[in-house]
Each structure stands twice: as structure tokens, then as C-alpha cells.
Amino acid sequence: MQKVIVPLNAFNRIEVLEKGQTSFIKLIAESGAYGIEIRRELFSNQDPSLDNMKQEMGQHQLFTVYSAPIELWKEDYQLNEQELTTIFQEGVKLGANWIKVSLGHFDKSQSSVSTLHSFLKQHREIQLFVENDQTPYGGNVNNLKSFFESATAQNVPVKMTFDAGNWYYSKQDVDEALTQLSQYVHYLHLKQVEQENGELVTVPLQKNIGHSWERVMNSLPNALVKALEFPIEPKERTKEYIQMMTESEALL
């Protein structure tokens, strides 16, 4: 059975901000999702306290990922410890199982992976994930490889979120990313990116028409937790897309 996560940024942004992320919890649970990805950038006055959100997600037994738009390494190549501390404090209140951030400005010769290791030793309750984002540095295959090689060498408990579509925005080769980074991947964000009127846009998944998301998914272990990070409109189609993942599993 596929473990499918639904991130809140898959839904209409205006509706999420107006109604609050909490209002989507029941829909996501009833659609058969394994879990939910709460987005820090989508909090609004409509959302209750983090403790109350935790309680409601717990009632629906949803695995919880907390995604925060912060960079792990600052522009001076040092650990972004202050913001990371805040995010982990929020994650604990939210009952998050995983926290997801982007790489930021990592440089093997200047960034102290041991500092990150020390931080994570004090925050063992939540697993840290680093995702390839859409920036030329945080979405760079070589930078990510250098970071994960360094982290692995020092036994730093950090894992990778592989976003199948962000490589197009950061102008990287998807197949090269798979070759270099697949051993570190434990969470897969599925999106399809296409060119429309000279611009890159994220579009809903379609099966069996040669889309790159299927190639990426089939190249990685089938048991990976997968997130549906593309426009789900209307939101009632969530169940349909989750079932698509189950059907894809049956074909492998």
C-alpha cells in the first residue's frame, strides 16, 4: 500500500489562507492519505494554535510533515541555527514526525556539518529532511551531493526529499540527480513541470503519457513515502490522485 502525503500547497492558495489549513485535514484523511504536509508559509489567522492542529491531525491518525521555507545554511555558509531552533519548536507543538527545509548555501570547506550533528542530537524527536528547491544553489545536484556525502561521513541523521519537478526550475538534469542522489532519498515530492508560453508551470499528474514524474517514481524504491505537490482542483479530486498512486504501485 502506497504511503501518500498531501501537502497543503496542492490546494488553491487563496482558499487555504481564507479557510485555514486545519479546514482541509478531514478531507485529506477521508481521501485515504497516509499523511499531511503542513506549510509554514500558509499559516493564517484562520488556523488554530499548533497544539490544536496537532490534536485534530491526531484524531485522524495522519502522519505529519512540517515544511518550512528556510535555508539550512545561511549566505555566510554557517548553520541557520536560530531559525532551525524555531522551526523545531513549532514542529514539536504541531506533533510533526518530519521537518523539511531547503539546503541553502552549503560549502564543504566552510560549512560545519558537525554543528548540524550537535543540533540534531538535541532534537531527536523529529527527523530532518533537506529538499532540492528551485534556487540555483539549493537545487544544485553537486551542492546537494556534497552536503549529503559530508553528512553521511559524519553519521548526521538527515535525509533527502527529492522533488521531481524542482530540477527543471533550477536547470538541473533529472536523470543526473537520480544517479547522484538516489541513495539519500527517503521522501518523494511528485510534480510534473511543463513549458507553457515560454514559462515553466507545475501541472497535475497524468499516467502513461511519458511524463517525467513516472520515470522518477519508477527509478526510486516503491516503498518511499510520496507527496502530491501539484494543483489539485477541485480539492475533491484528492482521493482520485491517491488512488492513482495505488494503481501505479500495482503496475510495478
Q: What is the pLDDT of residues 33-87, one digit of tens each?
A: 999 999 999 999 999 999 999 999 999 999 999 999 999 999 999 999 999 999 9
Whether the bond between 231 and the residue before it is cis, its omega within 30 degrees of 0, is no
Contact 204, 231 (CB under 8 A): yes
Phi, psi of 121 (to 5 degrees): -65, -25
How many domains, in total, are found in the chain? 1
Q: How far is CA 162 from CA 57, 169, 177, 209, 232, in A?
A: 25, 14, 9, 22, 20
The secondary structure of residue 219, as a DSSP letter, is H
In this prediction, residue 2 carries a pLDDT of 84
Tens-level pLDDT at each residue, the chain (252 residues): 689 999 999 999 999 999 999 999 999 999 999 999 999 999 999 999 999 999 999 999 999 999 999 999 999 999 999 999 999 999 999 999 999 999 999 999 999 999 999 999 999 999 999 999 999 999 999 999 999 999 999 999 999 999 999 999 999 999 999 999 999 999 999 999 998 888 999 999 988 777 889 999 999 999 999 999 999 999 999 999 999 987 765 444
Indicate if the alpha-carbon torsion angle 187, 7, 248, 239 is positive or negative.
positive
Q: Single out the residue of 67, 65, 68, 69 nearest to residue 35, CA to CA.
A: 65
What CATH code is carried by the domain that includes residue 13? 3.20.20.150
Spatial distance between the Cα atoms of 127 and 159, rounded to a whole number of angstroms = 8
Domain that holds residue 206: 4-251
In this prediction, residue 248 carries a pLDDT of 65
3-state secondary structure of 137: coil
In this prediction, residue 251 carries a pLDDT of 47
Q: Single out the residue of 154, 144, 87 nearest to residue 116, CA to CA.
A: 154
In this prediction, residue 197 carries a pLDDT of 86
Q: Single out the residue of 70, 4, 74 nearest to residue 41, CA to CA.
A: 70
In this prediction, residue 210 carries a pLDDT of 77
Percent of the chain residues past pLDDT 70, beyond the cut: 98
Q: Interior CA angle at 123 toward 122 and 125, to 5°?
A: 135
